Structure 1
Amino acid sequence: MRNMATYDFMETFRNTNQWLGASALSLASYPLFSMVPNPALQWMAAWGEVTERTFQRMVVKPDWGIRTVTCEDGRDHLVNVETVVDGAFGDLIHFNVSGRKKMPRKVLLVAPMSGHYATLLRSTVVSLLPDCELYVTDWHNARDIAVSEGKFDIEDYTLYLVDFMRHLGPDTHVIAVCQPAPLTLAATAYLAQEDPKAQPRSLTLIGGPIDPDATPTDVTDFGNRVTMGQLEKTMIQRVGFKYKGVGRQVYPGLLQLASFISMNADRHSQAFTDQIGRVAKGEASDHDAHNRFYDEYLSVMDMTAEFYLTTVDRIFKKCEIAKNEFTIKGKHVDIGKITTVAVKTVEGANDDISAPGQCIAALNLCTGLPDSKKASHVEPGAGHYGIFAGKSWRNNIRPLVLDFIHANSGKANATPANKNAAA
């Protein structure tokens, strides 16, 4: 009950600040006040507008916002997001491009479950759509999942990926971004053991902690400093009465957001102060750079407690993937069993979350895979976000990934790779 009260307190704090922002905006915008212009009222309205939007975004799942894509025929085609596999904890969605012939390359993009929605990969999706038949894992907010649906830990997550790969078939190319990289590697190994015919053709791992101890960062050091008991006591709460998942134990998104912001408090504080000034001067817009970034950054989701705790314990503390000791339902998943799936790793030279060395460790684990099916790339000057979004991704990494996919697509897929690389 105490943990539930804490969850509700955080929601109350968020809701109150949203209300204060809306109230300040409404009061300062009262028509009568325009008779006596006052800079203080302009600042108050601007503060209210920014504050209301900030705290309102924290409980909203962003829309993909991808209306059209320009295809090789030079025309804009409508994009429809369709659910092809419906799960209690996550769906497999397909970006269906209307009026376009089916693309030869079928790609599964595995989105992180690390506090943000899959829409964090929006720009990645936009860049891949012209060249691929694209599918994405769309994980659900744990606060909206009833307790009756049961648990969801890293073994369940891995089995979800196995089911998604089986559904898409053996001609699939998988790209895993950040957090899911080690579990996607495990899911591929699981298929190699249990259902070899369902294995994907290639696997690209981008900035994931395959071996967190290879190059320690603040993130991995945190996992080693705290005990599991400390984490469970300080980070885990029960969903409050407002949501469908009432009573479910979770690692709250609001709590993680507070941690994110505290790491760069000065920078975030300055960003919001500057935005208030721009709004007061009439220089801001609904989709300016600040709002585009923070509308996504502030939209957070809860993770199930068991997923968060088993991730820290088994991936970061015990390094089960790095040591090839990962098990599912008591059965060892041997990464060495991967013998036909081409594997590529991508790292950013300036990545301070999953530093260079952590992801490339996957190649050493694939002992049954010939060197001809292994590849790696370290992007100079790129940070964690830059290896799957921004100029580094668009101009350098994306073409390399598409070439890797094409090289491992088999004779049936003869379409040249990268015909839209400059898009």
Structure 2
Amino acid sequence: MQGGVCVVSSAYSSRRVIQPSKSPQRRPVLRIGSHQEILNKSSAHSYVGFRRCRASRRLISRKLPVVNGRTQQASQPRFPGASRACPVPNLSSLASTGACRPQLPLNRRGTDMLYAWREWQSMMWAPALPWLQATAELLAKVDHITHAAPCRQVAAGCDLLVRLFRHYDKPQFGLTYTDMAGQRVAVRESVVLEKAFCRLVRFERATDCRHPVVLLVAPLSGHHATLLRDTVRAMLPDFDVYITDWLDARHVPVARGTFHLHDYVAYVQEFIDYLGPEVHVVAVCQSTVPVLGAIALSAAGHGCTPASVTLMGGPVDARRSPTVVNRLAVSKPLDWFARTLINTVPRLHAGAGREVYPGFRQHMAFMSMNPDRHLKAHADYYRAVSTGNTEAARKHRTFYDEYNAVLDMAAEYYLETVRVVFQDFALARGTWTVNGERVCPEAIRDTVLITVEGENDDICGQGQTHAAHDLCTAIDPSNRYCLTVAECGHYGIFSGSRWRTHIYPRIRDIIRRFDNAHPEATASETVALNL
């Protein structure tokens, strides 16, 4: 008893007796030790969490009323395991009842709130967007009146707002036909294999012509496989095209398991086995590393290897000519990426509870790499709509409808890719192991190797993709081809005019030359091989 205040030193006593104060003029305060002592003894931070601790402190320091010289008992306890004589929760009782569950660290809870806030923002804008779109369409039709120009400007502003705040779903390939020998041939998509996180899609052409089979491995780096629409469109007249259609991780239920980088490699091996040794693999951007790893593992294990592999703009050795992306990856520890960039899928999605690297974060990263270019593009779009330049507006919509459609990636896959590809450079250093087996690119012998780089690629620096030739030392020099395209950026490698007129014709001719089903090569094709 000190100065009329009763101090109970133990926080673990199952029965506590509060002695009345000798000075009834002052209302006693129940203090059970110090806050720090309680936290140290009970490890409340790791067990109950920050909010529970704050609630406990408020309850501990609460003043109790005095009636007729006696301190009243505490009110009904607010925690399981607490008694009237002891308003402080019994932590061992809480553990047995399961009332307290481990919570995410404060920094992770903050990032998860960002995902929830993003979803809330989309829901808040959803009712207004149709009205803005209707207003834009109505005012855009106003013409031949005194105030037509201001009306078109308002329409352009409404249209731009809709595009900035709408949610972009996965686009469709929309490839319903192709031209073969001057004739229009119908095309339809069919799923031939389906995995937990990927579908193998075939573009079936209504023709009896046999063409070389091409497996187009789309990157799993934030965008959908439809980003390669132009790549598929160019190949359809000459090849039987298959593509890996990666699923949005937030739509994959947690019950379907996790997805690691070695699962990606296993998927590619399974797809190659399904299509057979005559398949020609084309890997774009991020997919180059797991594709080369899959082929190397199959070659070392005497499995099925493709007739050729084309690696386009991928970080095979990210140490060469590092870009902004490469420098960011090595400037932060892996733990920073896990704490800062990983979120939990919120409710209302099939994959609720799954940890992911959200697509909107990746989209923000894409935009921040060239902010001036994107700001100018949107300003030009506003001017195009307000002045009636429909062709320029259409091109903007076509590009950004695809660019803004992003997907979530499984957290374990994303973090392993950062570590293996961009921090440890494990493939280039020969230290990458998949399920306990070391990846040995030097084991590849019978596969033709083609690498393609863009001179102005700001995502994958010069030499990073061509580094595959230094790793695949067992491939005959006559079966290796390097192509560096002048004045070509990252996306120009697989889409746009340079892809259609410069890159694709050369890749097509090489594949035709080395295709087992069509070993003969025409004179024109042989000339085109001089890269």
Which structure has the bigger radius of gyration?
Answer: 2
Q: Note the C-alpha offset of 1:9.
A: 0.8
Moved runs in structure 1, 4+ residues, more than 6 A? 28-31
Name the structure 1 match of 2:117.
9
Name the structure 2 match of 1:147.
254
Which has the higher mean CA deviation after the structures are superposed, 164-173 or 345-354? Answer: 345-354
- Find the residue that maps to 1:138 and give its secondary structure: strand
Question: Which of residues 158, 165, 171 is equivalent to 1:55?
Answer: 165
Question: Which of residues 263, 272, 275 is equivalent to 1:165?
Answer: 272
1:19-47 deviation per Cα after TM superposition (whole angstroms, max 9, x unaligned): 4443334467789xx89957655433332
- Find the residue that maps to 2:221 and give its secondary structure: coil
1:144-223 pair list within 5 angstroms: 144-196=251-303, 198-223=304-329
Q: Note the C-alpha offset of 1:340.
A: 0.8
**One-letter amino acid of the structure 2 residue matched with residue 53 of structure 1:** R
1:342-361 pair list within 5 angstroms: 342-361=448-467
Question: Which of residues 236, 239, 245 is equivalent to 1:138?
Answer: 245
Name the structure 2 match of 1:115.
222
CA distance in 2, matches of 1:328, 1:78: 41
CA distance in 1, matches of 2:247, 2:514: 32
Cα distance change on mapping 1:417 and 1:156 into 2, 3 Å: farther
Q: Is the 8 A contact 1:26 1:45 kept in 2?
A: no
Name the structure 1 match of 2:204.
96
Cα distance change on mapping 1:49 and 1:201 into 2, 3 Å: same
1:55-81 deviation per Cα after TM superposition (whole angstroms, max 9, x unaligned): 33x440001011210012x21011101
Which has the higher mean CA deviation after the structures are superposed, 309-318 or 285-294? Answer: 285-294
Name the structure 2 match of 1:371.
477
Name the structure 1 match of 2:132.
24
Question: Which of residues 248, 253, 256 is equivalent to 2:359?
Answer: 253
CA distance in 1, matches of 2:123, 2:152: 23
CA distance in 2, matches of 1:354, 1:370: 26
CA distance in 1, matches of 2:135, 2:239: 50
Q: Is the 8 A contact 1:24 1:44 kept in 2?
A: no
**One-letter amino acid of the structure 2 residue matched with residue 387 of structure 1:** I
- Find the residue that maps to 1:222 and give its secondary structure: helix
CA distance in 2, matches of 1:76, 1:318: 49
Structure 1 runs not aligned, ≥5 long: none
Cα distance change on mapping 1:119 and 1:374 into 2, 3 Å: same
Q: Note the C-alpha offset of 1:399.
A: 1.6
TM-score by length of 1: 0.91
**One-letter amino acid of the structure 1 residue matched with residue 287 of structure 2:** P
1:78-100 deviation per Cα after TM superposition (whole angstroms, max 9, x unaligned): 110111111110111111011x1
CA distance in 2, matches of 1:335, 1:409: 22
Name the structure 1 match of 2:16.
none
Which has the bigger relative contact order, CA under 8 A and spacing at least 6?
1
Cα root mean square deviation, aligned: 2.5
Cα distance change on mapping 1:18 and 1:334 into 2, 3 Å: same
Cα distance change on mapping 1:45 and 1:391 into 2, 3 Å: closer
Structure 2 runs not aligned, ≥5 long: 1-108
Cα distance change on mapping 1:229 and 1:411 into 2, 3 Å: closer
1:313 aligns with 2:414: no
1:198-347 pair list within 5 angstroms: 198-284=304-390, 288-347=394-453
Q: Is the 8 A contact 1:275 1:284 kept in 2?
A: no
Cα distance change on mapping 1:113 and 1:54 into 2, 3 Å: same
Cα distance change on mapping 1:127 and 1:26 into 2, 3 Å: closer
